DNA sequence: ACCAGGACAATTTTT
DNA sequence: TTGTCCTGGT
């Protein structure tokens, strides 16, 4: 029916999806590893080369920059034409582009700035302080979270019905203040990009007509991750004459806590009629056992759009289960297994350690360092979120747009130049009273300041003016380089003797490289510098498709979504950790945990090991733990229990200990110590035994010393004297 | 302006 | 336990 190259290497269902008629909407339920990105890119290829659509007729939306970049790259190869300004990108970047094209229609100036979450935090904090809202009762993080939640739902402050909930009431008040602040200061946060884009289309019929007509085809990746405002955005762009093509997998919905609505994937069948649903169920990634075990696990969830994945590849190895005594032993086991794989010729980068929470990474790091194995950890502060980078960007932003108040506040006294809080307060209030920006206010009030503060501020003003003047004709990277020097940031870190200064200097150098690598699109609504500034906020990773080196990959299961590895260790499968304590009592949260576990398992291509520890040190305390219920939900026939050579008790024995505290005491009483007993330590002096763990030589005692505080000591080393 | 020490909290994370 | 943030002292 269709000629290669469109059908090239696609299975029947994939082909069907790709060549679907142009008259229907489509929902492609694409299971893990079923080649969904392939289908998406080939669909576009088909529309362009067979149906003679121009690339500009197509809108393709993803969630992450990574996915967007990958799609762009694949399309460039497939279409063999530059995709230039094609509308491919994240929801946020596309919304941003819309707003940059039509800022006035939503009461923004053409130079409006985007707030990242740090900036947002600071603003919320200041507003709360100014309005006397007690941040100990209403933690700023929670209020910020609340605000974003509302915005993701498309809810405005005036539409919140707080009822008797005091937290909601106060948060709604802050929300209102915050929205007004943003409006007055020409600021848009991440959620705001979407909210405003939606409003733009809703309130401007001619624009809506234009874009509905322009985008003949709207393709959405990872549809299960859409939140309400994103759904509305897609829905409003859709009319009788254009069509949506959505790809998603309800079993991989793991961002519900962030506002993603799995229901959207079900709603789509009613809201976008006529629609054709196609399931992609052939998996090209994992071996039979891995797949069957994953299928069995996810089958425990209710309300699924049932799919059952299958594979043509053989059963492969069984899934290994390892029960470690402690988290340290778990790490040692995993690392020694990685060494084995390495010795058998596997590349380190083919091995991944996946965990539920970032705090778990440390033990693995320590173990890897000990054995001298390269590793890479994902997570933590990203490049453009680092303080030194944000400072540098602050100067660049201020030089580009003198009324960028966020940037002004960031750099006005960093590196410190004697401009104190009181001076800044004066600048702020002048700005508010005169409806002008902080920079103009500074110039205006300088005469009225005490000599010292005045001089300091004058110095800053001259610095910025000189910066603007001297960099205006430079290329972007020269501009960045020169800004680093003129601002004094480089000197500041050169004089800084603390151990972190070196890496900060390296990061700043890296910023120059990032500027060099930045590719600006010529017909953009922005100039090159503005484009670079926007990129820094909208894609803070700062990664330019660099290949991962020869190193073991450590990351949370969340960040592993969309990736695959030949060898996977999914660790910490314990009750209260995975599923997490906060989720286990609520059915819909527990289901999401199960999906998360499913996502983790289905990352594995050939080898999958699940591990858990019977005792774990967390938040400075040791806890006994039960194996995760998810392990019990996988049929035994797929599992291979690894014998633990160092285990001094079996699972059942320890469960006895865990389930009845009395037993702990009775076990303890067989040793020479008992809880409540007073002992003497050579160094710490007198103390009382509060608790204990383990037995024999490895027994550890928790002792509250009169002077030295509470400590955990190993009984065989501690040389305790019973008093 | 800067640092030490205390209080406090600690899933998941994109944009 | 670790990191972060705030405070109070110098």
pLDDT tens for each residue of A381-410: 899 999 999 999 999 999 999 999 999 999
Q: Where exactly are the structural domains of chain A?
A: 12-103+194-280, 113-185, 310-374+549-642, 384-539, 677-722
What pLDDT score was predicted for residue A663? Answer: 29
A713: confidence class by pLDDT, cuts 50, 70, 90: low
pLDDT tens for each residue of A103-137: 999 999 999 999 999 999 999 998 988 888 888 88
Backbone torsions φ then ψ of A703, nearest 5 degrees: -125, 130
Average pLDDT, stretch A263-274?
91
- Residues A17 and A43: beta-carbon distance below 8 Å: yes
What pLDDT score was predicted for residue A296? Answer: 96
Q: Which helix (H) or strand (E) holds A651?
A: helix A651-659
Q: Is A625 annotated as a binding residue?
A: no
Tokens representing A421? 């809080």
Rounded to two decimals, the pTM is 0.86
- Residues A252 and A599: beta-carbon distance below 8 Å: yes
Contacting residues 526-565/A vs strand B (CB within 7 A) = 538-541, 555-556, 558-559
Q: Is the pLDDT of residue A696 over 60?
A: no
CA of A414 to C1' of B1 (A): 12
Domain spanning A310-374+549-642: which CATH class is it, in words?
alpha beta
- Residues A559 and A347: beta-carbon distance below 8 Å: no
Q: Is the pLDDT of residue A341 over 90?
A: yes
* Mean per-residue pLDDT of chain A: 88
As a whole-number percent, the residues of chain A with pLDDT over 90 amount to: 69
What pLDDT score was predicted for residue A37? Answer: 92
pLDDT tens for each residue of A472-525: 999 999 999 999 999 999 999 888 877 788 888 989 999 999 999 999 988 888
Closest residue, by C-alpha, to the C1' of B14: A64
Q: Is A36 annotated as a binding residue?
A: yes
Q: What is the CATH number of domain A12-103+194-280?
A: 3.40.50.300
Which one has a higher pLDDT value, A456 or A500? A456
Which one has a higher pLDDT value, A166 or A296? A296
With CA of A194 and C1' of each nucleotide, the nearest comes out as B15
What CATH architecture is A384-539?
A: Orthogonal Bundle (1.10)
With CA of A380 and C1' of each nucleotide, the nearest comes out as B13
What pLDDT score was predicted for residue A701? Answer: 63
CB atoms within 10 A of CB A127: 20
Q: Is A32 annotated as a binding residue?
A: yes
Asked if strand B comes closer than 7 Å to A619 Cβ, the answer is yes
CA of A438 to C1' of B12 (A): 38
Distance in angstroms (rounded) separating the CA atoms of residues A325 and A335: 15
In this structure, which CATH number among 1.10.10.160, 1.20.1050.90, 3.40.50.620, 1.10.1040.10 belongs to the domain A113-185?
1.10.10.160
A657: confidence class by pLDDT, cuts 50, 70, 90: very low
Cα A65 to chain centroid, rounded:
11
Average pLDDT, stretch A562-589?
94
Average pLDDT, stretch A584-613?
96
CA of A458 to C1' of B11 (A): 47
Asked if strand B comes closer than 7 Å to A492 Cβ, the answer is no
A44: confidence class by pLDDT, cuts 50, 70, 90: very high
Distance in angstroms (rounded) separating the CA atoms of residues A581 and A156: 32
Closest CA to A119 of A404, A375, A347: A404
The answer to whether A12-103+194-280 and A310-374+549-642 have equal CATH topology is yes
CA of A362 to C1' of C3 (A): 13
Q: Map tokens 């085809």 to a residue.
A: A217
Q: Is the pLDDT of residue A45 over 90?
A: yes
Average pLDDT, stretch A626-634?
96
CA distance between the termini of chain A? 90
Q: Is A454 annotated as a binding residue?
A: no
Asked if strand B comes closer than 7 Å to A117 Cβ, the answer is yes
Q: Map tokens 């820094």 to a residue.
A: A536
Closest CA to A441 of A457, A463, A419: A457
Asked if strand B comes closer than 7 Å to A195 Cβ, the answer is no
Average pLDDT, stretch A669-692?
64
Which one has a higher pLDDT value, A714 or A349? A349
Give the catalytic positions of A in this structure.
36-37, 221-222, 252, 603
Omega of the bond prior to A415 within 30 degrees of 0, cis? yes
With CA of A619 and C1' of each nucleotide, the nearest comes out as C1
Which one has a higher pLDDT value, A545 or A145? A145
Q: Is A609 annotated as a binding residue?
A: no
């Amino acid at each position: 029916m269709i000629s290669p190259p469109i059908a090239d290497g696609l299975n029947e269902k994939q082909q069907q999806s790709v060549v679907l008629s142009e008259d229907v909407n489509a929902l492609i339920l694409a299971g893990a590893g079923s080649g969904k990105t392939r289908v998406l890119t080939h669909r576009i290829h088909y529309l362009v080369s067979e149906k003679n659509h121009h690339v500009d007729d197509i809108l393709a939306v993803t969630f992450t920059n990574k996915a967007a970049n990958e799609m762009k790259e694949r399309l460039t190869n497939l279409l063999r034409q530059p995709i230039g300004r094609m509308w491919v990108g994240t929801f946020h970047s596309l919304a941003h582009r819309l707003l940059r094209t039509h800022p006035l229609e939503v009461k923004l100036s053409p130079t409006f700035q985007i707030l990242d979450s740090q900036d947002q935090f600071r603003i919320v904090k200041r507003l709360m302080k100014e309005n006397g809202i007690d941040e100990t009762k209403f933690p700023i993080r929670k209020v910020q979270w609340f605000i974003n939640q509302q915005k993701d739902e498309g809810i405005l402050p005036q539409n919140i019905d707080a009822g008797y909930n005091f937290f909601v009431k106060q948060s709604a008040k802050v929300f209102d203040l915050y929205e007004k602040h943003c409006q007055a200061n020409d600021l848009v946060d991440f959620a705001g990009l979407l909210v405003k884009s939606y409003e733009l289309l809703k309130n401007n019929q001619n624009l809506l007509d234009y874009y509905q007509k322009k985008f003949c085809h709207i393709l959405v990746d990872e549809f299960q991750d859409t939140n309400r405002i994103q759904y509305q955005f897609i829905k409003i762009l859709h009319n009788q004459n254009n069509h949506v093509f959505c790809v998603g997998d309800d079993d991989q919905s793991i961002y519900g806590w962030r506002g993603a609505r799995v229901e959207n994937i079900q709603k789509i069948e009613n809201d976008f009629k006529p629609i054709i649903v196609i399931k992609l169920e052939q998996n090209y990634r994992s071996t039979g056992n891995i797949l069957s075990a994953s299928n069995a696990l996810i089958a425990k969830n209710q309300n699924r759009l049932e799919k059952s994945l299958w594979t043509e590849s053989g059963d492969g190895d069984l899934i290994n289960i390892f029960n470690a005594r402690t988290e340290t032993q778990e790490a040692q086991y995993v690392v020694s297994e990685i060494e084995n794989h390495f010795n058998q010729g596997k590349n380190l980068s083919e091995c991944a350690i996946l965990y539920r929470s970032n705090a778990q990474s440390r033990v693995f790091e320590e173990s890897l360092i000990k054995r001298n194995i390269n590793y890479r950890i994902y997570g933590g502060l990203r490049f453009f979120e680092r303080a030194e980078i944000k400072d540098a960007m602050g100067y660049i932003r201020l030089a580009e747009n003198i009324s960028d108040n966020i940037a002004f506040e960031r750099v006005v006294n960093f590196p410190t130049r004697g401009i104190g809080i009181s001076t800044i307060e004066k600048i702020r209030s002048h700005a508010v009273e005169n409806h002008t920006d902080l920079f103009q206010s500074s110039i205006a009030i300088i005469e009225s300041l005490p000599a010292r503060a005045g001089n300091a501020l004058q110095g800053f003003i001259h610095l910025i003016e000189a910066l603007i003047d001297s960099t205006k004709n430079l290329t972007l990277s020269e501009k960045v380089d020169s800004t680093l020097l003129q601002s004094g940031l480089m000197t500041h870190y050169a004089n800084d003797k603390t151990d972190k200064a070196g890496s900060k200097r390296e990061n700043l150098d890296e910023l120059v490289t990032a500027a060099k690598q930045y590719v600006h699109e010529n017909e953009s609504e922005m100039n090159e510098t503005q484009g670079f500034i926007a990129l820094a906020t909208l894609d803070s990773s700062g990664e330019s498709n660099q290949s991962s080196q020869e190193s073991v990959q450590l990351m949370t299961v969340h960040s592993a979504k969309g990736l695959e590895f030949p060898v996977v260790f999914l660790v910490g499968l314990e009750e209260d950790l995975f599923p997490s304590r906060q989720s286990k009592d609520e059915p819909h949260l527990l289901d999401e945990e199960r999906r998360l576990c499913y996502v983790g398992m289905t990352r594995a291509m050939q080898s999958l090991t699940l591990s858990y520890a019977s005792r774990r040190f967390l938040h400075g305390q040791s806890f006994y733990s039960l194996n995760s219920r998810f392990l019990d939900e996988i049929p035994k026939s797929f599992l291979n229990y690894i014998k633990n050579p160092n285990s001094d008790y079996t699972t059942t024995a320890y469960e006895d200990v865990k389930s009845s505290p009395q037993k702990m005491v009775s076990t303890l009483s067989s040793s020479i110590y008992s809880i409540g007993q007073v002992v003497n330590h050579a160094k710490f002096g007198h103390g009382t035994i509060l608790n204990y763990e383990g037995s024999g030589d490895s027994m550890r005692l928790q002792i509250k010393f009169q002077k030295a505080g509470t400590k955990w000591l190993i009984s065989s080393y501690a040389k305790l004297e019973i008093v």
